Amino acid sequence: PPLFCAFLFAAPAVAAVGTCESLPGGVVEVEGTGGSGVQPTGYATLGAAFTAINTGVHTGTLAIDVCGNTAEGTATATLNASGSGAASYTTLTLSPVGGAARTISGATTAGNPMIDLNGADNVTINGLNAGGNSLTLSNTTVSATSGTSTIRYQADATTNLLTNTSVLGSATMAPGTNGGNIWFGAAAVTTGNDNNTVSKCNIGPAGANLPTKGIYLSGSSNTDPGTANSGIVLDNNNIFDYFNATTSSAGIDLTSGSVGTTISNNRFFQSASRTMAASGHLHSGIRVINGAGNAYQITGNTIGFATSAGAGTYGLVFSGTTTGAFIPIHLAVGTITVSNITGNTIAGIAVSGGASGTDTAAPFRAIYVNQGLAAANNNTIGSQSATGSITYTSSSANASDVIGIFNFSTSNWTTNNNTIGGITASNSSTGAANIYGLRTNTGFALTWTCMNNTIGGSVANSIQSTSTAPGTIVWGILNSNPIGTFTGNTVRNLTAAGGTGTATTASVVGMMMSSGSANQTLTQNTIFNLSNTNTTAATIVTGIQFTGSTANVVERNLIYGLTSATNSATAEVNGIRVNGGTTVYRNNMIAIGAGIASALGAAATNSGTTGINGINAFLGTNRFFHNSVYIGGSPTAGTGASYALNGTQSINTRDNIFWNARSNSGATGKNYAVKVNGTAPNPIGLTIDNNLYFADGTGAVFGFFNSLDVANLAAWRVAVGQDAGSFESNPQYNDPTNATPDLHLHPTLATVAEGNGVIVAVTDDFDGQLRSGLTPVDIGADAGNFTGVDVWPPVITYTPFTNTSLTTNRILSATLTDVTGVATGGLAPRIYYRKNADAYVSRACSLTAGTVTNGTWDCTINNTDLGGVAPADVVGYFVIAQDTLGNLASNPAGAVAMNVNTVTTPPTPNTYTIVAGFSGPINVGTGETYTSLTNPGGVFEALNGGALTGNLILNVTSDLLAETGTHALNQWVEDGVGGYTLLLKPSGAPRTISGTNAGALIRLNGADRVRIDGSTAATFAASAGLRVVGGTPALRELTIQNTNTGTSAVVIAVQSGAAGAQNNTLKNLNVLGQDPTTTLMGIAFGGATPGTTGTDNDNNRVENCTIKRSSYGIYSLGESAANPNTGTVITMNDLSATGTDRLRRIGIVVFNEDGVQITENSVGGLDTNQSADCVAIGLGTQLIDTTFTNAGGITNALVSRNRITGVNSQSGFSAAGIAVAGSPGGANLVVNNMISGVISPAT
């Protein structure tokens, strides 16, 4: 029968990702979906698996299950990019499988990585760390050869994830050299190794051999977008036991080629103490050194301790005299986009041994930036709740610096919301052990923003140096160079045991500003519990040590609890100590002295700075406004002095409270409220007033001046020659002796500080409250509506009477203000008055408006009481008032009185004279009452000494040929309704007014509403006249000539006087100088001297005048472009004479004018050989120069229908018909002018 054979075939294995298939070939199982090839397949090594993928054996979405340990040997396991050769995969995931720990290890040939992601993308290596699974990648090769690493990313390896994996290695090359446990490398093709993440990994040594670098980042370039490595995230890893005794080391080391990296939430620690055996090496947790890289984010990392849980201590020992440094975070980066160092913790660190070094060689710098634009915010250095979180112990004879955050770059810098504390530095030898919380040494033109940092923890001695070396320093904040803004910082609990430096080398300082080339602003900082424990050394403890440039502000700072244990006669404790700069110190509160048992320092001398000083104004140009100072304590021994204010240099001191309550309890030193340097009253640079002083303890003395004690305020005023508005009284602080002193004013106790200050441009108070809502002005840093003590008499203000021609009673309206209220009834204000040298009589004033605290009072001078008045009588008067407390004042000041009704010594009174009244026509000429205008006894002198009672006409009835110009016409006194006008005109025939004066012959000195009209037909109402270019000669019937041959002579000058000369008209005149080569000006508008600026000469007019024989025809100069003359009109004038009658150089020129109108003038015949330009009409300039085109202050001008014929410059200078140099503002319009004959050899 037939033989039938049956064959049984085994079914192919089914891929199950995450399950060990026990496949033949090895423990590395490659499985996948969506591709082709033999799957699943086992390989003995990861390298073999990668080779299979590279050759296309496995494609699609791949997974590698690590089902056992592998020994990779000396070769590199290289995974190429998908698309490179036959490799084709979309993603690849590598994980441990089987619920056990898996290790991929090798002793890779030195200079090579154990695993190489060579352009590979979308690879995930996930050690899981769950279900018993874990993964370790370990290269056991110990080598300093460049390139030695455990895993390398290169050639555009992108979007890969390495997580939950232990990555171990033992590469020992120095930072900056290729290699490390994890290395992001170079060989970029187009993008660089971008967007890779390493997270939740343990990165440390392979066995006992420590690596020098946990992660190293380099690259091909810094071009991004481009071939730079960018977008790399290193997050939440444990990086530990990276160190080498003979070279530098770093947990993360980043150099050129990697940019925009995020280093976040990692923990850097050493499981055992490390000893540095060679000098000159640096150790860091994070080291980013790429001067062309930007936008690094270093956030939330912890550097310190012996475990990832924050237990134990990160120890570093410098053996023998080894030098070097531990810099937990070190940056040298680019300047384009800021790199942020945020939310990191550096704590649990102990550094010891023989290291030393200061400044940029300091052996410990927690955060250090020495290049680039960076910001360090919200970081924690040490501890706020315990001491010794960071310890530095040196055995060197040289000094060491321990620095919390340090910037030595050339870029702007920001440090906000950092906390630094729990730092102890010591030295067992003779070297100093110095500590700086925040320190910056960038550039004078750069900025440092430093806000809301806390330097020093909440416990005593939080930051302390136990070194007794003379050079010891403990400083909270040090600014050596840049423009600084320091706001809301707290510096507390700093302690030193040594240090004998002075000023800018003082042993303990809260905030040190040492740059004289940059401005500083210090606001709302709190500095307290600074101390020096040395009992004999010449130590200095200072809250704020200040030097600045020329515009500094130190305000709203609180300083208290500064102590020193020394008994040295050269020691100091200072709230604020000034070493230079121009600075305003305002609204600061300073309370020191408590807890200082010795009267340290020396006795007072003029220039002495020792002792306890609330404010020690040693140098600088200083303004102290609204500060509150309290000096307390009960010294038991010593002879040194204490001062609320020690002013040894020029100071401006207003509205401060200086209270020295220090009271000797065995000591013999003197305790002063105030000391000012000087040897005579009113020393140069001193302004002192409106302060409140108080010295009330045992040994209290009011003040010290000119090497002498001053017993009280009255003696002080005599000694310094100032301080008339100051007070001596208890200011009633709320609680100045509290552990946290409260120098606010007491809410209910009466205080002189309430309402008795003066306004000195300080708008707020210590708490930021606006003082304007809490007026009157309070003395000191605290403003409020407190209970005041009225020590001021009423303030009496009024406008004094002018002379009058009236003989009727006069009513003076006075405003009286007083905090408590002006007395009324029988003690109501009174006006005292007398005629000539008669006895005074008085009448009570009556309140007509307002209240007794701020009211208007009418005070009547009743002439009946004087027996009547007549011309030439002089009436003297003053007003006196008292408040309800009896404080009394007079205006004018100086009255001595028991009360308003009993005046024992009257003041020098105000006076007015009964004068002649003028109105209607007055003839001036030969045979008249007045025979001249300007001469002594002339009509101008009479008007100046009289009063106008109506409009006035001065008729010139004959030629006046001997005028001297002695008297100007001033603004006259007016009786009646006022607003009167004065008309000066010829009468009966054309007239001539001539004479000689080296200045101006006719002067209107601040006079308003004057019309000098040369037409015999002129009336009060000015006629419109004919509109003719160059005017109408027939109307010009008055000639005014200055025959003086001097070169400063002027014919008519309109001078601004006290309030400007306004609404004046010069019309129908022939204005003649003596000679065009000598007479300066025909008509001038300006100040007291022709050619100088005049203020508010507005609405003046020159019309139908001819001007001859002067260098300038019409000249007008307003005060400035900001305050120009307005409404000036120059129209229909003839300035075209030729020959010896000509104008020599300038026809019309105006400066600083708004809306000037220059129209229908005839200007010509100008001919000059002077070394100057020749101009017919100048708007803002008389120079032809492009540099003056917008500097003349002319806006909204109209220059129209002028005829210019002949402008000749002979000397090589320029000539112009019309020259314009305007000003920003309204446009100037130059239109319809005719210009010809402008000649000059110049260009």
Specify the residue for token string 């995020």.
Answer: 262
Position 857 in a domain: yes
Query: What one-letter code names the amino acid at 1116?
Result: S
Residue 1111 structural domain:
982-1239
CATH code of 836's domain: 2.60.40
Per-residue confidence (pLDDT) for residue 1093, from 0 to 100:
96
The Cα–Cα gap between 924 and 904 comes to: 50
Q: Do 1028 and 1134 belong together in one domain? A: yes
Residue 1173, token pair as written in the block: 């330009």
Q: Are 1237 and 1206 in contact (CB under 8 A)?
A: yes
Q: Is 649 exposed, middle or buried (0-12, 13-18, 19+ CB in 10 A)?
A: middle
Domain assignment of residue 802, yes or no:
yes
| Domain end among 913, 928, 953 | 913
Same domain flag for 987 and 1106: yes
Q: Return the pLDDT at 95.
A: 97
Residue type, 295: A
CB-based contact 350:315 (threshold 8 Å) = yes
**Same domain flag for 898 and 1018:** no
Q: Pairing between strand 810-817 and 795-797?
A: antiparallel
Contacts of residue 841, Cβ cutoff 8 Å, sequence gap at least 6: 832, 833, 834, 865, 866
Asked if residue 195 belongs to a domain, the reply is no
Residues 1011 and 907 in one domain: no
% of the chain residues with pLDDT over 70: 97
Residues contacting residue 146 through CB under 8 Å, at least 6 positions apart: 111, 173, 177, 178, 179
Other C-beta atoms within 10 Å of 112: how many?
A: 21
If asked whether residues 988 and 864 sit together in one domain, one would say no
Distance in angstroms (rounded) separating the CA atoms of residues 814 and 404: 65
Nearest alpha carbon to residue 326 among 312, 337, 313, 339: 313
Residue 1186: the pLDDT is 61
User: How high is the pLDDT of residue 768?
Assistant: 96
872 and 1011 inside one domain:
no
pLDDT, averaged per 10 consecutive residues of the chain (1243 residues), comes to 33 63 91 78 97 95 96 98 96 96 98 98 97 96 98 98 98 96 96 97 98 98 96 98 97 97 98 94 97 98 98 94 92 98 98 95 97 98 98 96 97 98 97 97 95 98 98 97 97 97 95 95 98 97 96 97 98 97 97 98 95 94 96 98 89 96 97 95 93 97 97 95 94 97 96 92 95 89 90 94 96 94 97 97 98 97 97 97 95 96 97 96 97 98 96 97 98 95 97 98 98 87 68 97 97 96 98 97 97 96 98 97 96 97 97 97 95 94 69 93 95 91 90 95 65
pLDDT of residue 790: 82
Please say whether the beta carbons of 81 and 155 come within 8 A: yes
Q: How far apart are CA 989 and CA 1038, in angstroms?
A: 9
Which tokens go with 1104?
Answer: 């139908």
Please name the amino acid found at residue 413: W
Residue 764 domain-assigned? no
Tokens of 968: 């100007």
Q: DSSP 3-state assignment of 544?
A: strand
CA distance 868 to 842: 15
What string of DSSP letters covers 153-206?
EESS--S-EEESEEEEEEE-PPTTSS-EEEEE----SSS-S-S-EEES-EEEEB
Write out the DSSP string of 313-346: -EEEEE-TT--EEE-SEEEE--SSS-EEEES-EE
Q: Hey, which residues does 474 pair with through a beta bridge?
A: 435, 508
Residues 989 and 897 in one domain: no
Question: Does residue 129 fall inside a structural domain?
Answer: no
The reply to whether 872 and 989 lie within a common domain is no
For residue 553, the Cα-to-chain-centroid distance in whole angstroms is 7
Whether residue 1104 is contained in a domain is answered as yes
Query: Which residue, 913, 928, 950, sits at the end of a domain?
Result: 913
Q: Are 909 and 988 contained in the same domain?
A: no
Contacts of 446 (CB under 8 A, 6+ apart): 410, 411, 412, 413, 481, 482, 483
* Partners of residue 574 on adjacent β-strands: 542, 613
Q: Would you state the pLDDT for residue 186?
A: 95
Whether 53 is in a domain gets the answer no
Structure tokens at 81: 């990019």
- Distance from C-alpha of 732 to C-alpha of 711, rounded to nearest angstrom: 21
* Cα–Cα dist 1032/1028, whole Å: 7
User: Which residues have C-beta within 8 Å of that of residue 299, sequence separation ≥ 6?
Assistant: 262, 263, 264, 265, 340, 341, 342, 343, 344
pTM over 0.85: no
| Burial letters 824-860, b for 16+ CB under 10 A, else e | eeebbbbbbbbbeeeebebebbebeeeebeebebebb
Q: How many domains does the chain have?
A: 2
Residue with structure tokens 């003696």? 715
Distance CA 528, CA 379 (A): 22
- Strand 854-861 to strand 846-850: parallel, antiparallel, or no bridges (unpaired)? antiparallel
Q: Which residues of 583-605 are buried (b: 16+ CB within 10 A; e: fewer)?
A: bbbbbbbbbbbbbbbbbbbbbbe
**Is 1202 found in the same domain as 1091?**
yes
Task: Give me 690's structure tokens.
Answer: 């409106």
How far apart, in whole angstroms, are the C-alpha atoms of residue 564 and residue 396? Answer: 27
CA dihedral of 464, 470, 475, 479, whole degrees rounded to 10: -160
- What's the pLDDT score for residue 13? 41
Contacts of 221 (CB under 8 A, 6+ apart): 188, 192, 227, 228, 257
350 domain-assigned: no
1108 and 1001 in one domain?
A: yes
For the record, the structure tokens of 973 come out as 């006194």
Task: From 893, 913, 933, give the residue that closes a domain.
Answer: 913
How far, in Å, CA of 1069 to CA of 1104, rounded? 7
In this structure, the chain runs to a length of 1243
Q: How many CB atoms lie within 10 A of CB 34?
A: 10
Strand 810-817, strand 854-861: pairing: antiparallel
Is the link from the previous residue into 747 a cis peptide, with omega within 30 of 0? no
Evaluate the CA torsion angle 755, 757, 759, 762 in order and state its sign: negative
Regarding whether 1004 and 882 lie in a shared domain, the answer is no
The pLDDT, as a whole number, for residue 23 is 86
